[in-house]
A and B are shown apart, each in its own frame.
Chain A
Amino acid sequence: MPSVAVRFHNVVQRFRVIRERPDTLREAFAHFYRKPRNTYHDFEALKHVSFEVPHGTTVGIIGRNGSGKSTILKIVAGVYRATSGEVEVNGSTAPLIELGAGFHHELTGRENILINGLLLGLSKREIQRLEPAIIEFAEIGEFIDAPVKQYSSGMYMRLAFAVATAVNPDILLVDEILAVGDAGFRGKCFDRIAAFRKQGKTIILVSHDQDTVRKFCDRALLIHEGALLADGGPDEVIGRYEEIIGCAASALPTGQFT
């Protein structure tokens, strides 16, 4: 197996931000005739980002909202394809990105476990084998055969977390999800992530919470406005991050908040 789990080299992700997006045919025709200029501009969500994540390390990505943290995770997960640059991902990935995206409200918990598991790339047999463990971990009890629309939001999140972590990937992608659930369940989630670490899995974790990064990560990356500003030990990188937040806060009263 190659020594790196994830390698980004000069990765650029560009999105076309269309101010007046022709969503319908009428608009498309109208645009065609009027030949408007500058109705879109290219927005670079990632600007020549390069980093490596060796196998078995836990890397935290920090940065302000909209800085491009989640874009990195989505490129690793294969949802986006980088506009340019090289991306190398060695091993299976499972996204813990915004949990429960694949849940259908009319279906029962059990039915949703199956569909979500299949979406994450498990086979039906594997899911049936894992099902008892998932149900137990999620602490759903008899509600498992009720439609998920009757679940409390905590139950919903717990089930989603349980399914996503049951996939047992080589590379776990965690996006800002540990803020859910009560303290008890959050503890369980952290335990599970710690267990992944112990098994030598690679984890990439996006978080605002500096304590989480300090506690779990071997390394941290600081992303600011699409560029990689710092790459190093968590304490050092968090220091830089706090400087940036400080600057932004001091810029606030002058109204230059973009």
Chain B
Amino acid sequence: MFELVHGIYQYRELIWALALKELRVRYKRSVLGFLWALLNPLLMMIVLTLVFGTIMRFSIDHYAIFLLSMLLPWTFFSQALAYSVESVVGNAELLKKVRVPQLVFPTAAVLANIINFLLSLIPLALIVVALRFPLRWTWVYLPIPMVGLFLFTLGASFFFAAINVFFRDISHIVQILLSAWFYGSPIIYSIDFIPKKYHLLFRLNPMLYVLNGFRLSIYYGQLPSPQSVIMSLGCGVTAVVIGFGVFRRYQDIFVYYV
């Protein structure tokens, strides 16, 4: 853990430059450029609100905000993971030629998506205002679930990036896993729709606590319980310890397999 913090600090300039590179490349050839970071959640919201709010008629007030409060952190998680899974394999040519600290690649992929995520909070705030939804004071609590979310994502990224070096199926499996995970989490629906007897099952989802923190503070205007706070940070720290542990164990032999 100390090694990770030290490594990130030592190579902060490189990680930052790689993250910016990632974003630049992503938006480089598009006319709207960085605006896509803002437009994307907006368009996603319109589609999903139409489907679930209007056609399926979920009886949820201000469904758009209910949805976005969890959809944005989720989108961050799934995009960051999709990028970082390929981050070591994608830099194979580099790894074979220069001595580079391997940890910079997943970290930069996650950082690029953190920037993207923070930008996407701007349209969210705009939508809240436009729909005359009250802007809750509990927004100030958001940094806590964010830290949990970022840690959890970083841990998962290290884990899958390392395994993908040895089994290239992982990037496909991650795609499927993410989509199952998405529908299995109460993101487009509310956990109240689920019969009580299944709630225990939902509690096994390590993302739930983090996502709930977002929805509570943005939509319900409540603060999560202390247990839930501990759970969301605890899941994040555990993920990093396991994920980076696996990554560190194998990083020296990546170069022979990429």
A residues neighboring B (CB under 8 Å): 15-16, 22-26, 28, 74, 77-81, 95, 97-98, 101-102, 104, 106-107, 111, 114-115, 118-120, 123-124
Contacts and interface: CB of A to CB of B under 8 A. Distances in A.
Interface of B: 13-14, 17-18, 21, 24-25, 28-29, 93-100, 167-169, 252, 255-256
Given A24-B167, A25-B169, 20 more contacts: A23-B167, A79-B97, A95-B98, A97-B97, A97-B98, A101-B94, A101-B98, A104-B21, A104-B25, A106-B25, A106-B29, A111-B21, A114-B17, A118-B14, A118-B17, A119-B14, A119-B94, A120-B98, A123-B13, A124-B17
Most chain B beta-carbon contacts within 10 A, residue among A15, A102, A120:
A102
Contacts of A114: 17
A117 B94 CA distance: 13
A26 B99 CA distance: 32
Across the A-B interface, the 5 shortest Cβ-Cβ residue pairs: A78-B99, A118-B14, A101-B97, A25-B169, A24-B169
A118 B169 CA distance: 32
A28 B257 CA distance: 14
A138 to B, nearest CB: 19
A78 B25 CA distance: 29
24 contacts: A25-B169, A74-B97, A77-B98, A78-B99, A79-B95, A79-B96, A79-B255, A81-B252, A95-B98, A101-B94, A101-B97, A102-B98, A106-B24, A106-B25, A107-B21, A107-B24, A115-B18, A118-B14, A118-B17, A119-B14, A119-B94, A120-B98, A123-B13, A124-B17
Given A106-B28, A111-B24, A123-B13, A95 B169 contact: no
A115 B21 contact: yes
Given A25-B167, A118-B14, A119-B14, A79 B21 contact: no
Contacts of B96: 74, 79, 101
Contacts of A15: 256
A98 B96 CA distance: 10
A74 B14 CA distance: 22
